[in-house]
């Protein structure tokens, strides 16, 4: 079963992984190169900045705190009634 999967990676459809993929748990090693188990073209997944299949990198989430003027908030709340 595993030899069949290796043949699929070597037949030319799958593109080799790029340097940003190093360390990912989805990499499959073949005699010639390393391939992504989940995606055919790994370079396209990193095109927008982050691969959603990556197991070794997590997106950074930044929380922005917005300051609200209490007088304006009170006026908005009174208009809704």
pLDDT along the chain (81 residues), means of 10: 58 84 88 85 85 81 87 87 63
Q: What pLDDT shows up at residue 1?
A: 47
Q: Domain tally for the chain? A: 1
Note down the domain range covering 66: 2-79
Q: What pLDDT shows up at residue 81?
A: 63
From CA 74, how far away is CA 69, in angstroms rounded? 9
Q: What pLDDT shows up at residue 10?
A: 67
From CA 56, how far away is CA 73, in angstroms rounded? 43
């Amino acid at each position: 079963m595993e030899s069949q999967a290796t043949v699929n990676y070597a037949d030319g459809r799958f593109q080799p992984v790029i340097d940003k993929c190093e360390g990912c748990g989805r990499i499959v090693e073949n005699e010639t190169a390393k391939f992504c188990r989940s995606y055919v073209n790994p370079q396209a997944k990193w095109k927008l900045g982050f691969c959603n299949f990556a197991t070794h990198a997590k997106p950074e989430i930044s929380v922005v705190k917005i300051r609200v003027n209490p007088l304006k908030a009170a006026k908005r709340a009174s208009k809704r009634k």
